[in-house]
Amino acid sequence: MKIVKIKEDNCVYCHLCEVACIVEHSQSKDIIKAFKREEKPIARCTAEFNYPVSYSIMCRHCDEAACMEACQTGAMHRDERGYVIVNPEKCVGCWMCIMACPYGVIKRDNRREVWGLSVKCDMCPERSLPACVEACPNDALTFEEL
């Protein structure tokens, strides 16, 4: 299984991973429309900064995923590719996954009217190379075999 490797030595804290993630998960997949016309999705990765350290972090797709253990509805599940994915149909917005995640990479999307929805890296199912990896200008994110 391939995962996104984080190389903090190369991260320049440019946020382009976040930008790419937002565009990829938008309706139009157009950068201007995603940011300025549509309701902007939440970036699944986060660039963290504490001088001089910086890196982008997103779901590690753990073998023993604490979020899956914590999920009461089975919305957090492992898909056929082996990645940990949220099923929005089943998510009730109890946020237990967020409490359980040791990396803090699951985010709340409050814009779902009733239930709320956990948002996390889905490893770009429609792409061969995740959007954040493609956007990274300094190879601080690479898509490699585990």
Partner 1 sequence: MKWMKNLKTYTPPTFTVVRDDYRCIRCKACVEQCSFDATFYDEDEDKVWNWDANCVGCERCAAICPTEAITIKKRDYPYRPNYSWEGHVDGLKKRAIFGGTPIVSMGNDRPYKIYWDHMLLNASQVTNPSIDPLREPMELKTFLGRKPHFLSFNEDGSLKTQIAPQLELNVPIMFSAMSYGALSYNVVEALGRAATEMGTYYNSGEGGLNKDHYKFKGHIIVQVASGRFGVHKPYLDVGSAIEIKIGQGAKPGIGGHLPGEKVSQTISETRMMPEGSDAISPAPHHDIYSIEDLRQLIFALKEATEYTKPIMVKIAAVHNVAAIASGVVRAGADILVLDGFKGGTGASPQVVRDNIGLPIELALAVVDQRLRDEGIRQDVSIVAGGGIRNSMDVVKAIALGADAVYIGTAALVAIGCTMCQQCHTGRCAWGISTQDPHLSKRVNPDIASQRLINLLKVWALEIKETMGAMGINSIESLRGNRLHLRGIDLTDREMEILGILPAGE
Chain contacts with partner 1 (rule: CB under 8 A): 9-16, 18-20, 31-32, 35-36, 51-52, 54, 135, 137-140
Least separation in angstroms between CB 25 and partner 1: 15
Distance CA 104, CA 98 (A): 7
b/e code 2-31 from CB counts within 10 Å (16+ = b): bbbebeeeebeebbbbbbbbbbbbbeeeee
Distance CA 82, CA 55 (A): 24
Least separation in angstroms between CB 113 and partner 1: 26
Q: Whose Cβ is closer to partner 1: residue 14's or residue 42's?
A: 14
Least separation in angstroms between CB 14 and partner 1: 5
Q: In the block, which residue shows the tokens 């779901």? A: 59
Q: Whose Cβ is closer to partner 1: residue 75's or residue 133's?
A: 133
Q: Whose Cβ is closer to partner 1: residue 97's or residue 135's?
A: 135
